[in-house]
Amino acid sequence: MHDVEANGASIPALGLGTWTLRDDACADLVAHALSLGYRHVDTASMYRNEEAVGAGLRAAGLPRDEVFVTTKVWWTDLAAADLRRSAEASLARLGLDAVDLLLIHWPNPQIPLEETIRALNRARRDGLARHIGVSNFPTALLKQAVALSEAPLAVNQVEHHPYLDQGKVRAACRAAGMALVGYCPLHRGGGLFDEPAVAQAAQAHGRTPAQVVLRWHVQQEGTVAIPRTTRKERLAENAAIFDFALSEAEMAAISALNGKGNRICDYDFSPQWDAA
Ligand SMILES: NC(=O)c1ccc[n+]([C@@H]2O[C@H](COP(=O)([O-])OP(=O)(O)OC[C@H]3O[C@@H](n4cnc5c(N)ncnc54)[C@H](OP(=O)(O)O)[C@@H]3O)[C@@H](O)[C@H]2O)c1
């Protein structure tokens, strides 16, 4: 596994997504993932599983500085006092002194971005988070956030998979020294795996379609993927992507799937996305 360097943060290119994981099953899965070599776990106050993620981290017993832990502040909590309360509550639930990365989960046009970015920087300065960043920020908003932030932002976490080209966001991230962290990297495991470009590469390399899709992610510069699974056996499968490489033609054929499937996370509070 390699790390992606992003404005001073070294982020393992593959992380474990934890949305929908809960309670003992979540703690157990996190601990198992860490025992298999995962070193990056993604949670959020919204996922209501930070206690379980914390229990999994403790059960794994790794030195704190070996695991990269991300959490997020929900978009209704972006006023300065609310952000601070949210970050402190997340740390209490996780049982950590600091997270490695604290993200704004979604932008909120009702609250001045300047206030939110200032509060995010304050949380970092006060030691609640080693690095800060954003999620679901299209390029125009990202540019504003970058300009407003005293400490450089490390990450923009956005939906990313072969059906959704995030080239514009990635270019904006790279220009600012940031990483793109891709969520829904497997498109939730649907028809993407049956696409000929994916299935053929899987057959050629003796890998599963999920491994090919995850390899496609981490083979792109400055790009991280955080797949989720509820099944222990798939944890190992999803992590075994660093000992083979897709050819340029295979990468291009998979990238050409752009637009063939839908964007998954699109809500009434979503910002105006960049045009495809
Ligand atoms: N910032 C945001 O707004 C945001 C939004 C959405 C998600 N996220 C983060 O990103 C993470 C990942 O996104 P996601 O959970 O929505 O989607 P995902 O990782 O693309 O897909 C998860 C689905 O894929 C299946 N799967 C996993 N590994 C597989 C494999 N090897 N073969 C076949 N199927 C497989 C899982 O089923 P099984 O459980 O049965 O294996 C699960 O149903 C989340 O957990 C969360 O941490 C962030």
pLDDT, tens digit, for every residue of 132-177?
A: 999 999 999 999 999 999 999 999 999 999 999 999 999 999 999 9
Task: Label residue 90 by pLDDT band (50, 70, 90).
Answer: very high
Minimum-distance ligand 1 atom for the alpha carbon of 18: 45
pLDDT at 153: 98
Please give the average per-residue pLDDT across 119-125, as a whole number.
98
Average pLDDT over residues 32-43: 98
- 47 tagged catalytic: yes
Alpha-carbon distances of 30 from 18, 39, 105, 158, 223, rounded to whole Å: 8, 10, 21, 22, 22
**Residues in the ligand 1 pocket, defined by CB under 6 Å:** 17-19, 42, 105, 135-136, 157, 183-189, 208, 210, 226-231, 234, 237-238, 265
173-196: average pLDDT: 97
Atom nearest to 106 CA in ligand 1 = 3
Q: What percent of the chain has pLDDT over 90?
A: 98
Per-residue confidence band for 40, with pLDDT thresholds at 50, 70 and 90:
very high
Q: Please give the distance, rounded to the nearest whole angstrom, from the Cα atom of residue 220 to the centre of ligand 1.
A: 19
Q: Whose CA is nearest to atom 17 of ligand 1?
A: 184
What's the whole-model pTM score?
0.98
CA of 186 to the centre of ligand 1 (A): 6
Distance from C-alpha of 269 to C-alpha of 54, rounded to nearest angstrom: 29
Average pLDDT, integer, range 57-82 = 98
Would you kindly state where each structural domain of the chain is located, as residue ranges? Answer: 3-188+220-229
Query: From ligand 1's centre to the CA of 67, what distance in Å?
Result: 20
pLDDT > 80? residue 276: no
18 Cα–ligand 1 center, Å: 8
Nearest-atom index, ligand 1, CA of 157: 1
- Check residue 225 and give its pLDDT: 98
**Superfamily for the 3-188+220-229 domain:** NADP-dependent oxidoreductase domain (3.20.20.100)
**What is the residue whose two structure tokens read 């049956």?**
194
Mean pLDDT computed over every residue of the chain: 97
Question: Given pLDDT bands bounded at 50, 70 and 90, which one contains residue 1?
Answer: confident
Percent with pLDDT over 70 in the chain: 100
Q: What is the 3-state secondary structure (H, E, C) of the chain?
A: CCEEEECCEEEECECEECCCCCHHHHHHHHHHHHHHCCCEEECCHHHCCHHHHHHHHHHHCCCHHHCEEEEEECHHHCCHHHHHHHHHHHHHHHCCCCEEEEEECCCCCCCCHHHHHHHHHHHHHCCCEEEEEEECCCHHHHHHHHHHCCCCCCEEEEECECCECCHHHHHHHHHCCCEEEEECCCHHHCHHHHCHHHHHHHHHHCCCHHHHHHHHHHCCCCEEECCCCCCHHHHHHHHCCCCCCCCHHHHHHHHCCCCCCCCCCCCCCCCCCCCC
pLDDT at 190 over 90: no
In this predicted structure, the answer to whether residue 237 has a pLDDT above a threshold of 90 is yes
Point out the catalytic residue in the list 47, 163, 183, 267: 47
Start-to-end CA span in the chain (Å):
30
| Smallest CA separation from ligand 1 atom 19, residue | 227
